[in-house]
A and B are shown apart, each in its own frame.
Chain A
């Protein structure tokens, strides 16, 4: 063993602790997964076996997506000691604009259900998100107005703007292709494609591990023991395939299957047809966003600067980092993610309303903070924040399953937020 590896794993540690250390897994993230599992099992038992079903887990995955997508960006915002309170309102405003575009403006040009409608609508929405984010980011970074104030203003301004788009009227129905982004039986990729995605993900995990190992070898750095590598790869692949199996075990409802069979002239067998949902499109989008933002945060200069600014803004500036431009880019990214979340939200609802996304900013911030992002800056991971989003959503949908009153739901979510962050602070104090 090398000198460094010896320091890393003292002999008095238990074999399990030493093995975990060798895998270099983030113990905090493992703790979160453990907490999530406890919550799931708890709800499962309390609800008499309703929680851990393919149907509920599939719905949970879809419901978590918008918050998870925005939480990925919120991590970067909070890491640089900023905050974005405007994401919920931005989601609502951009959603309204996208709703009006696809239901009112573009059909006048192309006719209803034209294939270009969803693309133009989505492109315009994403662009609008970047522009709004750039505007707020510019005011924050270059004019020096605190992000709390700028985005608090944004929270009111964009919510008001969302109302103005149609004087408060709800816009519906939406373009059928656009609606695929919201999930539902049509908005999921089916069993075969889901297995394909799972297989690609497994191959990617193994390739990444192998690549890391060869790079370390090339520079003679300490390697993870082979057993740890195999354990990591095996666990990751098992989790991926288990998730695919679960979403593939959730069949289309009988009514939709009947309509599908009729329109495709398939004779319906007696027991009905089993058509699996597979991975929902919004979930795929969320996973894609998670991977992309994690890549940005850990593998690019931009991400390095984000964390350096969070650790010591003055030092980053003195090291020659253009800190203002980095901050502005973070808010542009946040705007883009709010637009993606907005598209998913209205597609799921099949309507754009001016109240869409109300109070979502608080869920997003809570998800990031539960996921280990420190409001003091410099610390936080995208994976943690997205897991935090799933945790928040699990609490909410679990309580709905149990029939807990809405006011009590808020009380529980609020208390859990404070307790989770409190536990995290104690954990960090202990581990240093």
Chain B
């Protein structure tokens, strides 16, 4: 990889603790244009917390975030969206009582010349983007709580790609999906990657990550065990990183790696 290239996202020495518990401790991770970086680890390893710092849901205690080489001030989700960072949360973060279009445009509503909501224009765009993700989807008038798990997931994904994201964070994007829909999301990730979008993919499932990611970053107990190109490590080695914190020779060790004996 060209070392002179400026990473799209560069998070350095990020720390965040909740009441004395180090949720994330001196974690560093980077992401380039058109790259998929898989972030793996056990529950409570700090993956979601680290990524929520990037998406503005949490504020870091220390550390630096650079977007295209420049220091980024991300204090809330609105700031993150200004940098083109879109997030698909594990919980989907949908307002259940309003319809699909209202969710897709939440916080960025289209308005008429009078300053009022342009519901019809929003529904028209919603039909377009949902048509790409889920061609059979027709229930635009229903509140989101009436939709199936897979449909809700497509709404969350549609929201993230609707606004020309530069950086996409996907926290367990296939958790609620069946095999067919999971494959669709895989196709979508490849397409977005080809468009030059950088993607953080958080997953429990290292098979998924091996299929889709260019690099893998493993976290354990709030610290980064190591980062490796997918081609340089085996699945067993990655499992070793996740479970034991042991960094294999193909990976660049982080602060969370156990000392080699």
Does A154 belong to the interface (CB within 8 Å)? no
Residues of A in contact (CB 8 Å), total 33
Residues of B92-106 contacting chain A, CB below 8 A: 92-98, 102-103, 106
Does B77 belong to the interface (CB within 8 Å)? yes
Stretch from A144-152, A166-174, A315-323 that touches the partner? A315-323
Kindly supply a per-residue 1/0 record for chain A positions 297-318, scoring 1 wherever the CB is within 8 Å of any chain B CB and 0 otherwise. Answer: 0111101100111111011111
- CB-based contact A307/B117 at 8 Å: no
User: Which residues of B lie under 8 Å from residue A317 when comparing CB positions?
Assistant: 57, 77
- CB-based contact A319/B115 at 8 Å: no
Nearest chain B CB to A199 CB, angstrom units: 24
Taking chain B's interface residues, is the majority helix, strand, or loop, or is none over half, making it mixed? Answer: loop
Does B200 belong to the interface (CB within 8 Å)? no
User: Which residues of B lie under 8 Å from residue A415 when comparing CB positions?
Assistant: none
User: Which residues of B lie under 8 Å from residue A311 when comparing CB positions?
Assistant: 95-98, 143
Does A7 belong to the interface (CB within 8 Å)? yes
Does B73 belong to the interface (CB within 8 Å)? no
Does B113 belong to the interface (CB within 8 Å)? no
- CB-based contact B77/A318 at 8 Å: yes
Does A378 belong to the interface (CB within 8 Å)? yes
- CB-based contact A216/B120 at 8 Å: yes
Separation of A322 and B138 alpha carbons in the complex (Å): 31
- CB-based contact A322/B78 at 8 Å: yes
- CB-based contact B93/A318 at 8 Å: yes
Does A28 belong to the interface (CB within 8 Å)? no
Does B146 belong to the interface (CB within 8 Å)? yes
A-B contacts counted at CB < 8 A amount to: 91
Does A270 belong to the interface (CB within 8 Å)? no
User: Which residues of A lie under 8 Å from residue B138 when comparing CB positions?
Assistant: 3-4, 7
Does B260 belong to the interface (CB within 8 Å)? no
- CB-based contact A301/B97 at 8 Å: no
Does A200 belong to the interface (CB within 8 Å)? no
- CB-based contact B106/A319 at 8 Å: yes
User: Which residues of A lie under 8 Å from residue B109 when comparing CB positions?
Assistant: 301, 304
Does A432 belong to the interface (CB within 8 Å)? yes
Separation of A311 and B97 alpha carbons in the complex (Å): 5
A3-B138, A318-B87, A322-B78 known; A307 and B123 CB under 8 Å?
no
User: Which residues of B lie under 8 Å from residue A314 when comparing CB positions?
Assistant: 91, 93
- CB-based contact B120/A379 at 8 Å: no
Does A231 belong to the interface (CB within 8 Å)? no
User: Which residues of B lie under 8 Å from residue A378 when comparing CB positions?
Assistant: 95-97
> Residue of B at shortest CB range from A317?
B77
Does A219 belong to the interface (CB within 8 Å)? yes
- CB-based contact A320/B116 at 8 Å: no
User: Which residues of B lie under 8 Å from residue A301 when comparing CB positions?
Assistant: 109, 111, 117
- CB-based contact A320/B98 at 8 Å: no
Q: Which of A7, A295, A304 has most chain B Cβ within 10 Å?
A: A304
Nearest chain B CB to A75 CB, angstrom units: 14
Does A218 belong to the interface (CB within 8 Å)? yes
Does A221 belong to the interface (CB within 8 Å)? yes
Residues of A193-241 contacting chain B, CB below 8 A: 215-216, 218-219, 221
Kindly supply a per-residue 1/0 record for chain B positions 100-143, scoring 1 wherever the CB is within 8 Å of any chain A CB and 0 otherwise. Answer: 00110011110100011100110110000000000000101101
- CB-based contact B146/A432 at 8 Å: yes
Separation of A2 and B185 alpha carbons in the complex (Å): 29
Does B81 belong to the interface (CB within 8 Å)? yes
Kindly supply a per-residue 1/0 record for chain A positions 332-364, scoring 1 wherever the CB is within 8 Å of any chain B CB and 0 otherwise. Answer: 000000000000000000000000000000000
User: CB < 8 Å: which of A3, A300, A304 contacts B98?
Assistant: A304
- CB-based contact A318/B120 at 8 Å: no
User: Which residues of A lie under 8 Å from residue B93 when comparing CB positions?
Assistant: 312, 314-315, 318-319
- CB-based contact B117/A320 at 8 Å: no
> Residue of A at shortest CB range from B116?
A299
- CB-based contact A321/B107 at 8 Å: yes
Residues of B61-91 contacting chain A, CB below 8 A: 76-78, 81, 87, 89, 91
> Residue of A at shortest CB range from B52?
A318
- CB-based contact A221/B77 at 8 Å: no
A218-B120, A219-B123 known; A318 and B98 CB under 8 Å?
no
Separation of A215 and B159 alpha carbons in the complex (Å): 24
- CB-based contact B77/A215 at 8 Å: no
User: CB < 8 Å: which of B102, B108, B146 contacts A320?
Assistant: B108
Separation of A299 and B173 alpha carbons in the complex (Å): 32
User: CB < 8 Å: which of B76, B92, B98, B116 contacts A307?
Assistant: B98
- CB-based contact B120/A319 at 8 Å: no
User: CB < 8 Å: which of B55, B57, B102, B120 contacts A308?
Assistant: B102
A301-B111, A321-B106 known; A379 and B87 CB under 8 Å?
no
Separation of A321 and B98 alpha carbons in the complex (Å): 15
User: Which residues of B lie under 8 Å from residue A308 when comparing CB positions?
Assistant: 95, 97-98, 102-103, 106
A-B contact pairs, 18 of them (CB 8 A): A4-B141, A215-B120, A221-B120, A301-B117, A304-B106, A304-B117, A308-B102, A309-B95, A311-B97, A312-B96, A315-B93, A315-B106, A316-B107, A319-B106, A320-B81, A320-B107, A321-B106, A322-B78
Known pairs A295-B116, A320-B77, A379-B97. 7 more at Cβ < 8 A? A4-B141, A7-B138, A216-B120, A221-B123, A307-B95, A308-B98, A311-B97
The 8 closest A-B pairs by CB, nearest first: A311-B97, A311-B95, A378-B97, A320-B107, A315-B93, A308-B95, A319-B106, A320-B78
